[in-house]
Structure 1
Amino acid sequence: MNHRTPAATVGVVGGGQLGRMMGEAAGPLGIELLVSDPTPDCPAAPIVREQIVGEFDDYDAIRELAERADVLTFEIELADPDEMARVGEETDTPVHPDPDTLRTIQDKLVQNRALAETGVPLPAFRRVDDADDLRDAGEELGWPLMLKAREGGYDGRGNRPVDAPEEIDEALDEIGGPALAEELVDFERELAIMGAVGDGETDAYPVTETIQREEILRESVAPARIDDAVRDRARKVAFDVLDLLDGRGVYGIELFETDDGDILVNEIAPRPHNSGHWTIEGTRCSQFEQHLRAVLGWPLGDTALRSPAVTANLLGDVESPRPAELVGTDSILETPEASLHWYGKREVRPLRKMGHVTLADDEHGRDALLSRARELVDDVTFE
């Protein structure tokens, strides 16, 4: 296939920070991005060619995207797979990843069943529709366990540890709908792999170590501080997962490394992922450029490591929502190996992801990079 510039137009359902960084990656390739998002002047709006204001299931907005684009994709799991499939068929516009893949991943129970049926390792799980189901799950899986909303959960929302039967009613009220109970894994560390599926190609970035508190990603370390055997097992599991997914694109695969060195799948995201933000500075082709290459059917880019990299998220440190104003960034800007990424969100909320800082350097060890990243993030605050 011969590629020409201006190369293509990509329509993206969702215009949050992932859409913004996708737009930043699109420009050098001559790709134009159109996004649809319910928030006027969404984070991606200043970067992409145009925003169409519409809900994630707005047929008219998605159809307009498809009519003006060469391919349709999404950057958020709240995108409606039924409307995207319908619009894709009506306009003859390819949709990647496949809406069936999104439909599977949107429901954690459906996702886990699909993985289990093909032998992909994951924590033991049970369906939970009511208090009796959760009580039975606790007896089978043991207390404590993890209760997850089947749909809509992200950044720690929709996940709730349940320590004992006495917490059942409170936990179900907090989740507020159909749920999934999983055994609480005693893990050594959490890992992630960004995989890429192109036109007849499959590749993956180096295994990343993810550090989370309160179910929210705080830092990522790449490559992960693991031995070769664990790395090889993680990559094998990731490629097995990619074999199950339909449609081109980048996929975030979150994993547990158990105390015994085994690898279990935690969750899958059919899009670029926070745990892969380090690839902007740490690899030759970022996950965002890779996603665009993949959905367009272009050759995949190089996933090789340029240098070790650590990313630390900038999270809202406020007690209640307020206009977003970040102060104290001088130390970040004065650090040669540090890169500041600001997502352009107008409002800061408690623990909301507002940006990130990446340190990429092959002269210092990963422990030193992580320590320095934490120091830099501690210097900033929201007023």
Structure 2
Amino acid sequence: MTVTVPGPTLGVVGGGQLGRMLAEAAAPLGVEVIVLDPTPDCPASPVARDQIVGDFDDPEAFRELASKVDALTFEIELADAELLDDVAAEFDLSVNPDPETLSMIEDKLVQKRALADAGVPVPPFRRVDDADDLRDALEEFGAVMLKARTGGYDGRGNVPVTDPDDAEDAMAAVGGPAMAETFVDFARELSVIAVQGEGEVRTFPAGENVHEEEILRETILPARTTDEVQARADEVARDVLETLSGRGVFGIELFETSDGSISVNEIAPRPHNSGHWTIEGARASQFEQHVRAVLGWPLGSTRLRCPTVTANVLGTVEEPRSARLGNVEAALSDPDASLHWYGKDEVRPLRKMGHLTVTGNGAGDDHVPDDLLAHARDVRDALTFE
């Protein structure tokens, strides 16, 4: 393989915060990015070379994107997998991860069946098409997490159900065919950011995720668990990669139970919110790794630099309004903090508007002290929406 810079131009379907950070990571490598997104002046547009305004299933917009780039990828599961495949073939472009993988992952039931068939540990689950199916699942599993098969994100489309009398309301809340998964009484949620390159696989250390109201609030590195659990999480993540085709970064969410066992919650075929810590906390970020992987370039190091905590900056307003973050000096004046603003024009309740990363003193620390997590929360909570 011969790599030269300036390098190729990468087309990205999706121009949200992930597209923005992909473009930021691509630039030092000599790679330019063009994004396709339906929102004019999307978050990625200020840092990408160009934006094509079009829906995620718009054939003409896809063809315009393909005509201007050397390779294709995506940063959102709403990308039309079949259209990606067709356009890549028409313009003789590589598209990674494989659209077949996108099709498998975007339907949570299909995803879980593929993992189970491959022997990857997953919580017991079953298909649910209506309220009667849900009541049957409750009888089989007890408490369940009802998940919309497609379209759910940030906890949306997930409804915990314990009472058969709530079945109709729960089905209405997810809005269509769903999957019921036995409710896992987990000790913690972990995530492994795994990278599949050209003939090589690398994994970042497992992070520990802290959720509230089904939304990720903080990710802690290294996870506050045992070395044995870390090793098992890495092993399972690598097994997951064997079920997927195509190159790129995959966010793999895992449950750790009180006995140390690991099962897979969900997979994202792209960089993941729980991997944002890698920008300051690892040798090469998940975004740089994704660019390298989809282009078939050698992968970078996934070594942890130092203990790291990422805290999401979520909308704290009661009603949507223009986005303006105040008291930013609280983050800028902190020597251990790094602020990332996503460039979204409108702030809404609990919408992810940015994130804050706080780093510790060195990679030799075996565990992240609780005060590093408290530090990240304090700096994050000092920020206000004006």
Normalised to the residue count of structure 2, the TM-score between the two structures is 0.98
| Native 8 Å contact 1:221 1:366 kept in 2 | no
Which deviates further from its counterpart, 100-109 or 364-373? 364-373
Matched, 1:325 2:352: no
Match of 2:127 in 1: 127
Distance 1:60 1:201 in 2: 35
CA-based RMSD: 0.9
Q: Which amino acid aligns with 2:112?
A: N
Residue 244 of structure 1 aligns to a residue in which SS?
coil
Distance 1:194 1:67 in 2: 31
Match of 2:98 in 1: 98
Q: How many residues align?
A: 382
Match of 1:244 in 2: 243
Matched, 1:368 2:371: yes
1:189-239: CA deviation from partner (whole Å, max 9, x where unpaired): 000000000000011001100001111000000111111111111011000
Distance 1:56 1:106 in 2: 14
Q: CA deviation at 1:366?
A: 3.4
Residue 255 of structure 2 aligns to a residue in which SS?
strand
Q: Which runs of 5+ in 2 are unaligned?
A: none
Q: Which amino acid aligns with 1:205?
A: F
Distance 1:74 1:297 in 2: 16
Q: Which amino acid aligns with 1:353?
A: K
Distance 1:99 1:156 in 2: 24
Residue 192 of structure 1 aligns to a residue in which SS?
strand
Match of 2:53 in 1: 53
Q: CA deviation at 1:17?
A: 0.1
Distance 2:186 2:336 in 1: 32
Matched, 1:382 2:381: no
Q: Which amino acid aligns with 2:225?
A: I
Distance 2:270 2:222 in 1: 20
Distance 1:353 1:156 in 2: 12
Match of 1:176 in 2: 175
Q: Which amino acid aligns with 1:274?
A: N
| Native 8 Å contact 1:309 1:366 kept in 2 | no
Normalised to the residue count of structure 1, the TM-score between the two structures is 0.99
1:149-170: CA deviation from partner (whole Å, max 9, x where unpaired): 0000000110000120011011
1:276-301: CA deviation from partner (whole Å, max 9, x where unpaired): 00000011100000000000000000
Residue 94 of structure 2 aligns to a residue in which SS?
coil
Q: Which amino acid aligns with 2:190?
A: L
| Native 8 Å contact 1:210 1:275 kept in 2 | yes
Match of 1:153 in 2: 152
Distance 2:62 2:369 in 1: 43
| Native 8 Å contact 2:306 2:359 kept in 1 | yes
| Native 8 Å contact 1:257 1:263 kept in 2 | yes
Distance 2:372 2:52 in 1: 40
Match of 2:27 in 1: 27
Q: CA deviation at 1:316?
A: 0.3
Match of 1:255 in 2: 254
| Native 8 Å contact 1:9 1:33 kept in 2 | yes
| Native 8 Å contact 2:138 2:162 kept in 1 | no
Percent same amino acid at aligned positions? 63
Distance 1:286 1:367 in 2: 24
Q: Which runs of 5+ in 1 are unaligned?
A: none
1:324-353: CA deviation from partner (whole Å, max 9, x where unpaired): 011112111111010000000000001000
Distance 1:130 1:323 in 2: 39
Alignment of 1:276-287 (within 5 A): 276-287=275-286
Which deviates further from its counterpart, 119-128 or 366-375? 366-375
Q: CA deviation at 1:360?
A: 1.4
Alignment of 1:1-383 (within 5 A): 1-142=1-142, 144-362=143-361, 365-383=368-386
Distance 1:338 1:35 in 2: 29
Q: Which amino acid aligns with 2:148?
A: A
Residue 338 of structure 2 aligns to a residue in which SS?
strand
Distance 1:300 1:155 in 2: 29
